Amino acid sequence: MTVHTTSPQFKQNATRALHDVQLQKALNNVKQGFIDKRQAAADKLPEFEALRDSARDIKNHTLEHLDLYLEAYEAKVKASGGHVHFARNADEAREIILKICREAGAKTVTKGKSMISEEIGINHYLEANGITPVETDLGEYIIQLRNELPSHIIAPAVHLNASQVEQDFRRVHTHLDAKRDLSEPVQLLTEARAVLRERFLAADVGITGANFLVAETGTSIIVTNEGNGDLTQILPKTHVVLASIEKLVPTLEDVSQLLRVLARSATGQEMSVYTTFSTGPRRPGDADGPENYHVVLIDNGRSSMLGTSFEEMLRCIRCGACMNHCPVYHAVGGHAYGWVYPGPMGAVLTPSLIGVDKAGHLPNASTFCGRCESVCPVRIPLPKLMRHWREREFERHLTPASVRSGLNLWGFFAKRPALYRFATRAAMATLGFAGRRRGRFSWLPLAKGWTKHRDFPAPQGETFQARWQRERSRRTA
Amino acid sequence: MSARDDILAGIRRSLGVKGSEAIRRQIVQDRLERAPRGVVPARGQVSGEERVGLFKTMAEASLATVTEVGSPGEVPQSIALFLRNHNLPATLRMGDDPRLQAMPWSDTTLEISHGPSGGGDLNAVSHAFGGVAETGTLAMISGPENPSTLNFLPDNHIIVVSAKDITSDYESVWNRVRFSFGKGGMPRTVNWITGPSRSGDIEQTLLLGAHGPRRLHVIVVRE
Amino acid sequence: MSALPSSRPGTPRVGLFVTCLVDLMRPSVGFAAVKLLEDAGCIVEAPVQTCCGQPAYNSGDRGTTRDLAMRMIETFQGFDYVVAPSGSCAGMIRKHYPELFEEDPNWRAKASALAAKTFELTSFLVDVLGVTHVDATFQGAVTYHDSCSGLRELGVKTQPRLLLSGVKGLTLVEMNDSDVCCGFGGTFAVKYSDISSSIVDAKAKNVEAAHAQTLLAGDLGCLMNMAGKLSRDGRPVEVRHVAEVLANMTDEPAIGLAKDAAHK
């Protein structure tokens, strides 16, 4: 795993993000952009909830038979003239891709947006080996210029504003007139379109991800709004598909179910602009299309998630709805999570992939508000899975000592009702007395985390149980 | 052990299966063969005029423009008019689709060229395999007569679709694909297109024409 | 359980699950709940109790959670219903107790039995007892925050609003994003206090923008968090548990206010 992680520094990352005025402004776009649109799309389709059930069931069924669907898929790809490669981990995947690029004599490689390619860190590896990778999704292109990770799985540059993009374009596109006007987003888009158009036409290899793989036909599917994924895969001589093994679905009917929830959950569109089904290389007589078609199937930790409570995470179709609806993501953005996958899905997946010892903060940094689960198109119980990580941390004694001892103390009293009543009665009487003048505390020992930002309301003094006992004994007497 | 066998063995270990269980193989085989339909929205389950009307409404909602003509013979004039109305040059790139070939292009002054796009074409026309009323989606199929590059490289993409090829749902498109290519068979590329290219990557502002066409114009042929 | 009043046929015997925070911080909410339940014809008892185990559960300590859950199950065994003035604590029992004992059929059955008869206060009043009106008066505009567990685990959304709509003198003004988390999240508020603060800051702004004098919700944790933020920022909004208003028991100062500040 060569992609650097700052997940262990989540708290520091978060604090920095909270003080980043520009980032906070950009995060407002997430709050306002995606939520209403998803709701509107869901409201327009009476079958939406039933489709979510259907999508969940299809993924569960596929995962339970994943070995067999992989075999069926592989046979179909081969029959259509394509090549299938299996990679146990990121290292193997990178080597396979490099070998394909070398065989194609590649100098430049265009890339469609692919989270698995971020996960295996392919760009840096190709560069180190003398091959230039060019991200072609507008957002990915921008963050590649900045040498950043995506901050959102479907809107990689959502943390940036237009003037930052302008600065990057001026810094990198030095062959263009320095005095050109780039003050409007549409001018930035037009410039990127022109620059990348040349890259598309010059590329020797095109690498895309896959939203889905269809076992019935040996088909890989990409979904985009820009059309960059299509230009990436039809123009160069060689098309390489990178996909993690859980992208499989059985049939074209099944993928149609999933497509009905994907765009609606992601951007609130009825359907993304381009949904492309690719099967093998160019056919005899075809007017265009790649001559070579390779699929690299990557495990990188997935197979060991099967059969565990984290198997449900493998249903994820990377729509981004969970982060779009997450109050913590809204507060700190994607980079704070410190690795490839942010938000609630990242909080569950990242510990599986890089270890809970490194990513332990992520499943803890949640209020369990449940909004992510309520919008997940494949109904992944994200809070429950985050809690499972907390349980693993607790079992492995990774939970911070302060939390542990606090819990132990609370548990000790809670298991002993008589002692509990005695102790809480005394404590609340004291606290209530101390707070009676103002009704609240702006500082309390042991509660600095709370009182740093807000007051602590004073208790009324007598506990409920004490007063109840008093009043009931009077009543029954 | 090869990576392939290792991964499959790992999956089987995790799932607690051997892989040879007849019943599992049967379940998978059945699913692949029967390809059961799931939940199909009622919205598209209309026919005739209503279906074509829904297709138009949904395509327009995806920011495509739609026009109708009575017969294939009227398509060239309709395209010439479209280009003129948008102050576009009277050039047009197309493949060798026989349905397009049969149209009376000489009725117009359009400068026609044939073959895949090399990136320099402003306008192109393609014939759709079908349309899907549910979302106003067009289904395009690649082949010797239908280059995929025409769907993406030109600035202005015009798609001709026969009203009779507009189906209610995606599943109906797959049935037609299976009829044409055999069960389990597929053309190299099937493109579903729903509106013109766009991006929201800069400040979530919707901008058309990211890498693909800035305009998508659909001509529905009635006859 | 010998002190339990005997129940007449048709009169539900309700065990009040007070919840730790109400027990310790704001007992008046518990008494408001008792009044609402008694007015609706229930016999209410509050057996000696401690904690349902949610803090331990959400911190990954299943062992302690199970111990506390077993105690809760035994404590409330004999009641027809268990009602809590909290969506989060009721949700713990309803949604999470059964899965806590997934591998223990004996306790699982008991946990499921308790889960099936446990309710959040307003949803019990409306959905189970069919209450549509309470006899209460409260002057002014209020806004209502939907606490997450109640909303998403138990479907509490319309019930408190229905009951509030019958309170004389009260106008309900909806704030923006009333269904978005306030940033409390139990120990989250302390462990990730900077993030929590940012979330509750957004909530406080929405509350203020609604121009209501009073903020209500059904969970004391959220209420303390929002009250603490509003008072720290000097936003003049009073904060109360919805039960206090519905029970017409608003003599106690609002959350975070001192006695004399209540009578202004």
Q: What are the domain boundaries of chain B?
A: 1-34, 46-221
Chain A residue with Cα closest to C260: A437
State the number of CA atoms in the 13 A half-sphere of C252 facing the CB. Answer: 26
pLDDT given at position C6: 47
Q: Quick one: residue C8, left, alpha or beta (phi over 0 = left, psi -120 to 50 = alpha)?
A: beta
Nearest Cα of chain C lies from the Cα of A423 at a distance, in angstroms, of 11
Query: Contact at 8 Å (CB) between A135 and A245?
Result: no
Q: Is A289 helix (H, G, I), strand (E, B) or coil?
A: coil
- What does the pLDDT read at residue C3? 40
Contact A80, A214 (CB under 8 A): no
Percentages helix, strand, coil for chain B, rounded to the nearest 5?
A: 35, 25, 40
Cα→Cα distances A79→A56, A100, A217, Å:
30, 20, 10
Indicate whether A241 belongs to any domain.
Answer: yes
* Closest listed residue to residue A133, CA positions, set A162, A167, A97: A97
φ and ψ of B151, to 5 deg: -75, -15
Burial of residue A285 (CB within 10 Å: 0-12, 13-18, 19+) is: exposed
- Count how many residues are written for chain B: 223
A402 CB-near residues (< 8 Å, 6+ apart): none
Residue A43 has pLDDT above 50, yes or no: yes
Of A253, A274, A298, the residue at which a domain comes to its end is A298
Q: What is the identity of the amino acid at A328?
A: V
Strands C118-120 and C43-45: unpaired
Q: In chain B, pLDDT over 90 holds for what percent of residues?
A: 98
Give me the interface pTM, i.e. the ipTM. Answer: 0.98
What integer pLDDT is reported at residue A7 of this predicted model? 95
| pLDDT band, residue A475 (cuts 50/70/90) | low
- pLDDT at residue A443 in the model: 82
Number of domains in chain A: 2
Whether the Cβ atoms of residue C239 and residue C227 lie closer than 8 Å to each other = yes
% of residues, chain C, pLDDT over 70: 95
Helices A21-44, A252-266: axis angle to 10 degrees equals 130
Token pair recorded at residue A188: 């930035």
For chain A, helix, strand, coil in percent to 5 are: 55, 10, 35
The mean predicted confidence, pLDDT, of chain A is: 95
The CA distance from C165 to the nearest CA of chain A, in Å, is 26
Q: Do A86 and B4 touch (CB under 8 A)?
A: yes
* Nearest-10 Cα torsion for B221, B118, A274, A311: 150
Taking CB atoms and an 8 Å limit, are C256 and A421 in contact across chains? no
Q: In this complex, which of C67, C195, C258 lies closest to A438 when CB atoms are compared? A: C258
Sequence-separated (6 or more) residues with CB below 8 Å from residue A75: A218
Architecture of domain C13-126: 3-Layer(aba) Sandwich (3.40)
Query: Can you say whether the dihedral through the CA atoms of C213, C217, C223, C226 is positive or negative?
Result: negative
pLDDT digits (tens, 9 = 90+) for B95-128: 999 999 999 999 999 999 999 999 999 999 999 9
Q: Which residues of A touch B147 (CB under 8 A)?
A: 287-288
Write the pLDDT tens digit of every residue in A354-371: 999 999 999 999 999 999
Q: Note whether A273 contacts B195, CB cutoff 8 Å.
A: yes
Q: Where are the domains of chain C?
A: 13-126, 133-262
Mean pLDDT score, A304-325: 97
Residues A434 and A290 in one domain: no
Q: Are A228 and A197 in contact (CB under 8 A)?
A: no
Helix (H) or strand (E) holding A77: helix A66-79
Neighbours of C263 (CB within 10 A): 7
| Topology, domain C133-262 | Rossmann fold (3.40.50)
Among B199-213, C21-35, C140-154, whose mean pLDDT is lowest? B199-213
Is pLDDT at C16 greater than 90 in this prediction? yes
Q: Pairing mode, if any, of strands A212-214 and A219-224?
A: antiparallel
Q: Nearest residue on chain C to A396, judged by CA atoms? A: C60
**Alpha carbon distance C231, C203 (integer Å):** 13
Instruction: Give the nearest partner residue to B39 out of A47, A189, A269, using CB atoms.
Output: A47
Q: Does residue A377 form part of some domain?
A: no
CA distance linking residue B67 with residue B74, whole number of Å? 11
B65, B86 Cβ separation under 8 angstroms: no
Question: What tokens appear for C10 in the block?
Answer: 């048709």
Cα separation of C12 and C18, whole Å? 18
More confident call, A433 vs B65: B65
Please check whether residue A341 lies inside any domain of the structure.
no
When pLDDT is averaged across residues C103-119 and rounded to a whole number, the result is 96
Closest Cβ–Cβ partner in A216, A231, A269 for B152:
A231
**A438 vs C165, more confident:** C165
Look at A101-115, A301-315, A418-432, A463-477 and tell me which has the smallest mean pLDDT: A463-477
In 3D space, the residue among C153, C157, C160 whose CA is nearest the CA of residue C134 turns out to be: C160
Which pLDDT value is given to residue A31?
Answer: 83
pLDDT at position A295 is 98
Q: What is the pTM (predicted TM-score) of this model?
A: 0.95
- pLDDT tens sequence across A192-205: 999 999 999 999 99
A392 occurs within a structural domain: no
Work out the number of other CB atoms within 10 angstroms of the CB of residue A70: 22
Chain A residue whose CA is closest to B191: A276
Is it the case that chain B and chain C have 3 or more CB pairs lying under 8 Å apart? Answer: no
Rounded Cα gap, residues A298 and A146, in angstroms: 27
Q: B128-182, pLDDT tens digit by residue?
A: 999 999 999 999 999 999 999 999 999 999 999 999 999 999 999 999 999 999 9
A17 and C CB contact within 8 Å: no
Chains sharing 3 or more CB pairs under 8 A with chain B: A
Residue found by looking up tokens 């694909």 in the block: B177
Residues of B in contact with A256 (CB under 8 A): 38, 169-171, 174
Q: Cβ C27–A460 below 8 Å, yes or no?
A: yes
CA nearest to A390 within chain C: C60
User: Which of B199, B205, B218 to substitute to test the interface with A, most A CBs within 10 Å?
Assistant: B199
A225-271 pLDDT per residue, tens: 999 999 999 999 999 999 999 999 999 999 999 999 999 999 999 99
pLDDT in tens, C54-91: 999 999 999 999 999 999 999 999 999 999 999 999 99
Quickly name the fold that domain B46-221 has. Rossmann fold (3.40.50)
Given a contact as 3+ CB pairs under 8 Å, which chains touch C? A
Chain centroid, CA A152 distance in Å: 7
- Do the chains contact at B184 and A217, CB–CB below 8 Å? yes
pLDDT, position A477: 54
Q: How far is CA C117 from CA A303, B201, C76, C110, C209, in A?
A: 40, 49, 10, 11, 38
User: Mind listing the pLDDT tens digit for each residue in B68-83?
Assistant: 999 999 999 999 999 9
Does B194 sit within 8 Å of A275, measured CB to CB?
yes
Do residues A263 and A138 make contact, with C-beta atoms less than 8 angstroms apart? no
Indicate which of A80, A288, A295, A298 best probes the interface with B, i.e. most B CBs within 10 Å of its own CB. Answer: A288
Greatest CA span in chain C, whole angstroms?
57
State which of A298, A328, A353 marks the end of a domain.
A298
Residue of chain A whose alpha carbon sits nearest to that of B213: A227
* Residue of C131, C52, C157 lying closest to C96 (CA atoms): C52
pLDDT tens across C190-234, in order?
A: 999 999 999 999 999 999 999 999 999 999 999 999 999 999 999
Q: Do domains C13-126 and C133-262 have the same CATH topology?
A: yes
Residue A245 has its nearest CB partner, among B7, B35, B40, at B7
Q: State the DSSP string of chain C.
A: -TTSPPPPTT--EEEE---HHHHHT-HHHHHHHHHHHHHTT-EEE--S----SHHHHHTT-HHHHHHHHHHHHHHHTT-SEEEES-HHHHHIIIIIHHHHTTT-HHHHHHHHHHHHTEEEHHHIIIIIT-------EEEEEEEE---HIIIIIH--SHHHHHHHTTSEEEEE-PPTTTTS--S-TTTHHHHTHHHHHHHHHHHHHHHHHTT-SEEEES-HHHHHHHHHHHHHTT---EEEEHHHHHTT---SPPTT--HHHH--
| C73 CB within 8 Å of a chain A CB | no
User: Is the CB of B211 less than 8 angstroms away from the CB of A196?
Assistant: yes
Cβ neighbours of residue B216 closer than 8 Å, sequence gap 6 or more: B63, B64, B65, B157, B159, B193, B195, B196
- Find which of A23, A56, A68, A153 to mutate to test the B interface (most B CBs within 10 Å of its CB): A68
Share of chain A above pLDDT 70, in %: 99
Q: What's the domain range around A431?
A: 419-476
- CB–CB contact C257 A455 (8 Å): no
